[in-house]
Amino acid sequence: MRYQLRDETGASRSLAYLLLAAGPFVLVTGVILPDRRTPGSVATFLLLTLLLCGAGLLCRRRPERVPHLAWLIAPFFGIAMITGLNVATRDASTGAQLFYLWPVLYAANFLGRTVNYLTIAMVSAGNAAVVFPILGVNVGVSDWASLTVAMMLTTVVVSALRRRNERLREVLETQAYADPLTGVANRRSFDGELARAVESARRTGEPIALMTLDIDHFKKINDTWGHGVGDQALQLVADALRRVADGRDDVVGRLGGDEFVVLMRTDRWGARRAADEVRAAVAAIGTLPGGPPGLSIGIALLPDHAGTAVELGAASDAALYEAKEGGRGRTAIAHPPPPRHNVDQVPAATVTGV
């Protein structure tokens, strides 16, 4: 059965606290408080206490050793344990039934909608198994209905708050990793994506291309037409880059000012074709007062021009600098790095400086 666990750390702590509290509770209610005790019942409750406390410590200190399915079973285990204890002690008081809050809150916080429905249904059934035999149908139906409605409302409220928090977290993550003007990845986000892409490419042997570009004479656009037009130019260029770099793993970023980067899972010819498509897309811009801006583009590939993320960025920067030095409005491909000589193969005079 597949299910979504939203926060394993929080779930492990919640389950640990339940088990660590349940152990002493079982000891008190099963061994200390009863007037009549038998050696068998005492041994059973002592063993159960040790098992609960041991499982709680495992969840708290070594959650990675807990089977993943345990996080799904946890609320149903809690319901069964609470119902069993209430039936065994014939306790239909409100305080005893409030223990059902734990599985309800656990499911609402950490598990999906289907599990929430099943949890409410089992809580309702467990409560009915306690209150009807003890209080009778006439009195028990009121307690049963009240608890069921209260648990349903608790689930609704907690689930709504959880969804709101998730949306707020998504907004904060977007603000932290996206450039506020253009909406593409900022430097921090792009650096992380580049490092992961390089690591993956080195494992699989697939090439990746890094395109670095900036807008030619961008300062002149700002000085002539104002920063509003300059910002519009940046947004339009970013839109063009997104349309071209539309692969599932392609990433567009803005490093600052008018400098953009594009990460693509492609080879040399694919990168060169993408550069031509970017130029065509930007050349089609007709809303800027000074006409479409020019672009200088540098391209570097892994493994052709670099072996690490840092080397790939440096090679792409060097290619961009070459394009600008060549008159701007050009695309330059990085040069292969010089061959690395084995020290054992270098003549002794070269090594010693003689």
pLDDT of residue 95: 81
pLDDT of residue 305: 92
Say how many C-beta atoms besides its own lie within 10 A of residue 328's C-beta. 14
- Kindly list the domain boundaries of the chain, sorted by start residue: 8-176, 187-333
Question: How would you write the chain as a 3-class SS string?
Answer: CCCCCCCHHHHHHHHHHHHHHHHHHHHHHHHHCCCCCCHHHHHHHHHHHHHHHHHHHHHHHCHHHCCCCHHHHHHHHHHHHHHHHHHHHCCCCHHHHHHHHHHHHHHHHHCCHHHHHHHHHHHHHHHHHHHHHHHCHHHHHHHHHHHHHHHHHHHHHHHHHHHHHHHHHHHHHHHHHECCCCCCECHHHHHHHHHHHHHHHHHHCCCEEEEEEEECCHHHHHHHHCHHHHHHHHHHHHHHHHHHCCCCCCEEEEEECCEEEEEECCCHHHHHHHHHHHHHHHHCCCCCCCCCCCEEEEEEEECCCCCCHHHHHHHHHHHHHHHHHCCCCCEEECCCCCCCCCHHHCCHHHHHCC
C-alpha pair distances (Å), 242 with each of 183, 254, 260, 342: 10, 12, 11, 43
pLDDT of residue 32: 83
By the 10 Å C-beta count (0-12 exposed, 13-18 middle, 19+ buried), 162 is classed as middle
- As a whole number of angstroms, the distance between CA 53 and CA 19 comes to 6
- As a whole number of angstroms, the distance between CA 143 and CA 134 comes to 12
Q: Give the contacts of 125 (CB within 8 A, at least 6 positions apart).
A: none
Q: Give the contacts of 226 (CB within 8 A, at least 6 positions apart).
A: none
pLDDT of residue 269: 93
Q: 187-333: what fold?
A: Alpha-Beta Plaits (3.30.70)
Q: What angle do CA 247, 250, 256 make, to 5 degrees?
A: 140
By the 10 Å C-beta count (0-12 exposed, 13-18 middle, 19+ buried), 142 is classed as exposed
10-residue mean pLDDT series, the chain (354 residues): 68 83 79 79 85 87 83 88 84 85 89 90 93 88 91 92 86 79 91 92 91 94 93 95 90 93 93 94 92 94 91 94 91 82 50 36
pLDDT of residue 260: 96
Q: Are 116 and 155 in contact (CB under 8 A)?
A: yes
pLDDT of residue 311: 93
pLDDT of residue 345: 53
Decide the pairing of beta strands 331-333 and 295-302: parallel
Q: Are 189 and 290 in contact (CB under 8 A)?
A: no
C-alpha pair distances (Å), 192 with each of 188, 196, 310: 7, 6, 12
Q: Are 350 and 244 in contact (CB under 8 A)?
A: no
Residue with tokens 């400086």: 353
- As a whole number of angstroms, the distance between CA 354 and CA 348 comes to 8
Q: Give the contacts of 141 (CB within 8 A, at least 6 positions apart).
A: 132
